Structure 1
Amino acid sequence: MNADMFAGNKGVCGAPLKACEATVTIIFLTSTTPADPRENVSPNFMNKISMWIIVIPIVVGVFILLAIVAFVIINQCKKPLPDPKLKAIKVEDRASAASSNETKPAEAASKLTFVSDDDGDKFDLQDLLNGSAEILGSGCFGSSYRTSLPDGTAMVVKRYKQMNSVGKEDFQEHMRRIGRLRHNNVLTLVAYYYRKDEKLFVCDFVHNCSLAVHLHAHQTLGQPGLDWPTRLKIVKGVAKGLAYLHKELPSLIAPHSHLKSSNVLLNESFEPLLTDYALIPVINAESAHELMVAYKSPEYVQHGRVTKKTDVWSLGVLILEIMTGKFPSNFFLKGKGNDEEDIVTWVKSKLGDDDRETLLTNLEVFDREMGAIGVGDGKTMKQLLKIGLSCCEDDVQKRIDLKDAVGRIEGLKLRNMSNDGEFFSAIASDCEEDIKW
């Protein structure tokens, strides 16, 4: 047989054709031993287990991270945050120091100037800015903040923006003059901070609020009204402090120039402390004329001038406010001469010129928050009212001068005090002739 006989059969091999290729046969054997139980588990089930093994640690980690973040945020919220306005001072300070061409270090730009050698460098501006700040109020010229030093001492920072028209040397000289003032009824300036567009005054914190709060907002604070002995004590202290300012600052026409109940602070024993005094030399003229008490006086409203007796007029208005409990808003908000009846006119209408006026009419003048009074004290109270009216004379020539006013106030004494310190009721004695003031 030759190879031609097998032509066309592609799968035939071997002699006489070409040799066949080697082949491998694979034989699968089935084991008779039991299979591993895990081999029967569904692949989907195994995938789920693998997924949870990966997911669970991730979820736990996320929860731990969130818990840490929440803890940090809560702790930060519990800490008192510094007032943003005070913080802004530090930010602006650094910016101005960075942009300055001066070779002084940046710290020099934020240095406090202490006005007395007695105070020394007890703290710096950063100590004030880093402490938690509580806003005490916003007045005519700026805001006041209470802040704490690292040792816990409470200080007040007053921020003024209406002082940018006075030169640095003149400002510093005036601050040195103020820094020398020392009196029990004048709040001492501790330090100041100078920058062209704003100034900071630093003083000790007085814990008992202002006279205005005790006269007009004590019920909101849940406090009793001021009694008569306390009011007389306050008037005497204010008069002493004002006399001291006039003695020590004779070059100023009106050494205080901004005397009002909100600028009289009271310490724990209700001793008054005058504040915001001697500002006219450093306050911008347009702001002073618009906002300061001195420029609400009759002589300025009528004749455009401030005199040595302008502070006396402010003292008189304050006395009437203390004794009547009425806030003299028409003076301080609008100036004299408006349609609203002012406190001076109102007191005159109630008091009259006849010393034998009835008891009822006189009692209408006084603030009932003073409580019961005795016969002798009723007379003293009326004497104080008359001193206040003498201080409020529209005609400066007829107005009492400060020395006489202080002398007459100092001469007033408490009367009718019983051994236990209680006052006798004037109402029970309204039939007595002596009580007809």
Structure 2
Amino acid sequence: MAIPIFAHRVLLLLLLLYCSSLGASTTHPDLEPLLAFRDSSDAANEKLWDWNSTGVSPCSWSGVSCSRNRVSRLVLEDLDLSGSIQPLTGLTQLRVLSLKHNRLSGPIPDLSNLTALKLLFLSDNGFSGKFPPSVLSLIHLYRLDLSHNNLSGEVPPTLNHLTHLLTLRLDGNRFSGPITGLVLPTLQEFNVSGNRLQGEIPKSLSAFPESAFSQNTGLCGSPLQSCNGIVGDPSEGPGSNGEVASPLMPGAGPSIVSSSPSSIPGSTNPALSGNPHRRARMKPVALIAIIVGDAIVLAVISLLLYCYFWRNYMGKIGGEGQKGSKLMESEKIVYSSSPYPTQAGYERGRMVFFEGERRFELEDLLRASAEMLGKGGFGTAYKAVLDDGGVVAVKRLKDASVGGKREFEQHMEILGRLRHPNLVNLRAYYFAREEKLLVYDYMANGSLFWLLHGNRGIGRTPLDWTTRLKIAAGAARGLAFIHGSCKSLKLIHGNVKSTNVLIDQLGNARVSDYGLSIFGPPTSAGTRSNGYRAPEAALDHRKLTQKSDVYAFGVVLLELLTGKCPSIVDHGNGAEYSGGVVDLPRWVQSVVREEWTAEVFDLELMRYKDIEEEMVGLLQIAMACTSASPDQRPKMCHVVRMIEEMRGVDVSPCHENVDSVSESPALSEGACGVSQ
């Protein structure tokens, strides 16, 4: 009997070991460093609230992206995080690390384990200490931004070992000493302004603008003031050693007082200080010969310089093209083929930015890694990650019916001036004959449609009533602002639906894709947003009005209340149909008519207590908005007032703007005019 018992125990032990090894293998290797960083930087768990240890993989957490089940990108910007970043040194497969605009502090830890790192952005924090020596071992680094911290000491010339470096920003620190040893021929962006640097600027960096070196009182040389001394006031006399002191380096007497030989005492230039009678006897023929000779020499020098710089320019373009292709092959996060290329042979347009927006070039968009967000009636939207870690949303108007350039630019100027907390801001646009792009702020939390209808499986987090009501109020304010911003033009959204109500980082609703209906052909008007189109505009988008926007918003409210999607056929709930699609307004009216109002509401809302009155109140607003007659629908400012009163929020009367001028000013009538 001993042998079977022994065998049983061995089998049990092997089973336990297998289970433990299986459990260990299912634990994500980067989970522990991320949780340690969360605990040290966000102790209150307010900013990284979705970072929890209950899930096996952190790849779905905000700011985290993975490749081959390892964390490859960590972008946590403007989150007010504090403490040290020491725990992040365990993310050995990290390629992009951006922690800009936080309150992180202490010395930058040893990053030598991050051998795959290509983009490092730690600007606008409180890091202190010397330049991190471990950065010098990151030989694959392309972008390095340590600007606006409290770093000190010298800038090490061993930075030259980073032969792939394209960006080096050290501005706004307390670095001192010289930079004469820096030779980084691959740099595209460079800035050391606002430090305590001294000495001569090396020729390898002299091509960068003056602003890249400003606020360093000890720096000299091109593009700043020459390092040669400047003649001071003659009344002050020479220094103690008989030399004139340099204003750039006090106490040091330059060997050359001025670059002009005529200012040197005792100049012996025979052309200037020789016998005056000799100069007077110079024949006109000789004078003409000298002038002609000088002109020829000048022309030859100019030609040589032109050829030299042209060759360098063409070589730089060719080199960047080859380098870009190599980077594209090796690292798609840094450079990737663009889904919206400017095709060869077509007219080249230009990026137009609105006032106060951060500028970048079209090439930055073309190089950015892109992820398709969705396709709508006016084109396809992409998430673009720029080289500096910034993220924007780009809409390619491929399927839109865009008229002439002037008409397009005028309309974009109007839309670009709309600024409101409940609108997705239009930052820039690009127009060419074969390519039209719109650049918006990127909303990381997706759309209302996804919150309501996405992930209906196990583990779904239902959208609670308070959040639904907050989103309804925010979207209403955004639409009301559009309607009231330019009374002379009576601006409309034209495509209101739950996929165009996006959610920002703070959970606020932001209305997107406004004002684009002008580019929609009549034939596609009925199919572009099934279930949201007002009856009078169902067949022709030219009949779209502010009242048709109100109707579509009413459908969105019904979507919030019922949990039903107007764009999906559903034969199991007694709904009435229009073209095979659930007609939510007609179905809700039929249910309410039979006094089964409770059957209207989403079952996920039934778990909340004491909200019946608010739900019925919002239902009445939605039914008023979806009235068949446009004249019976309320204005959006009235809708805002009714929703906010239900939430207990005081709002201005409807005849006034729904937002204060200081918070979100409406456009002036002059700014609305298309004649500008």
**TM-score when normalising by structure 2:** 0.43
Alpha-carbon distance, 1:251 to partner? 4.3
Counterpart of 1:214, as a letter, is L
Whether 1:390 and 2:643 are equivalent positions in the alignment is no
Match of 2:62 in 1: none
Deviation at 1:399, TM superposition (A): 2.4
Structure 2 Cα separation of the partners of residues 144 and 384 of structure 1 = 32
The corresponding residue for 1:201 is 438
Stretch moving more, 163-172 or 366-375:
366-375
**Correspondence 1:235 to 2:472:** yes
Say whether residues 1:96 and 2:346 are aligned partners. Answer: yes
SS at 1:412 equivalent: helix
Asked if residue 313 in structure 1 is aligned to residue 551 in structure 2, the reply is yes
Closer/same/farther in 2, CA of residues 258 and 175 from structure 1, 3 Å limit: same
Q: Are 1:402 and 2:636 counterparts?
A: yes
CA separation in 2, counterparts of 1:89 and 1:386? Answer: 48
2:484 counterpart SS class: helix
Q: How many residues align?
A: 318
Q: What is the distance in 2 between the residues matched to 1:316 and 1:255? A: 15
**Partner of 2:553: helix, strand, or coil?**
helix
SS at match of 1:411: helix
Q: CA deviation at 1:286?
A: 4.1
Which structure is higher in helix share? 1
Offset at residue 85 of structure 1 (A): 5.4
Give the match for residue 519 of structure 2. 282
Mapped pair 1:153 → 2:390: yes
Task: Measure the CA separation in 1 of the matches of 2:629 and 2:612.
Answer: 28
Offset at residue 296 of structure 1 (A): 2.7
- Contact 2:533/2:548 (8 A) holds in 1: no
For residues 143 and 222 of structure 1, the distance between their equivalents in structure 2, rounded to whole angstroms, comes to 30
Structure with the largest fraction of strand: 2
Q: What is the rounded CA distance, in whole Å, between the counterparts of 2:504 and 2:521 in structure 1?
A: 31
- Contact kept? 1:330, 1:342, Cα under 8 Å: no
Q: Does 1:137 align with 2:374?
A: yes
For 1:315 and 1:344, the matched residues in 2 are separated by 11
Structure 1 residues 199, 75: CA separation in 2 closer, same or farther (over 3 Å shift)?
A: closer
The one of 531, 551, 566 aligned to 1:328: 566
For 1:76 and 1:213, the matched residues in 2 are separated by: 34
Distance in 1 between residues matched to 2:384 and 2:647, nearest whole Å: 40
Q: Deviations over 1:238-282 (max 9, x none)?
A: 110010000113345561110000001001222100001011333
Task: State how far apart, in whole Å, the 2-side matches of 1:140 and 1:209 are.
Answer: 18
Q: Matches of 1:261 and 1:295 in 2, distance apart?
A: 9
- The SS at the match of 2:546 is coil
SS for the counterpart of 2:424 is coil
Q: Tell me what 1:218 maps to.
A: 455
Does the 8 A contact of 1:254 with 1:309 survive in 2?
Answer: no
Q: 1:119 to 1:297 in 2, by over 3 A?
A: same
Gaps of 5+ in 1: 1-71, 98-108, 355-360, 416-437
Task: Say if 1:222 and 1:281 are closer, same or farther in 2 by CA, change over 3 A.
Answer: same
What code does the residue aligned with 1:365 have? V
Specify whether residues 307 and 189 from structure 1 end up closer, same or farther in structure 2 by C-alpha distance, changes over 3 A only. closer
Match of 1:171 among 402, 408, 422: 408
2:449 partner SS: helix
1:265 partner SS: strand
Distance 1:403 1:414 in 2: 16
Q: Give the Cα separation in 2 of the matches to 1:136 and 1:83.
A: 17
Unpaired runs of 5+ residues, structure 2, are 1-324, 570-575, 650-676
Aligned partners of 1:162 and 1:341: how far apart in 2?
26
Specify whether residues 352 and 280 from structure 1 end up closer, same or farther in structure 2 by C-alpha distance, changes over 3 A only. same
- Alignment correspondent of 1:12: none
Which sits farther off after the overlay, 226-235 or 361-370? 361-370
TM superposition shift of 1:75:
9.8
Structure 2 match to 1:261: 498
The Cα RMSD (Å) is 3.2
Deviation, structure 1 residue 373: 2.1
With structure 1 as the length reference, what TM-score do the two structures score? 0.65
What residue in structure 2 maps to residue 364 of structure 1?
599
Q: CA deviation at 1:221?
A: 9.8
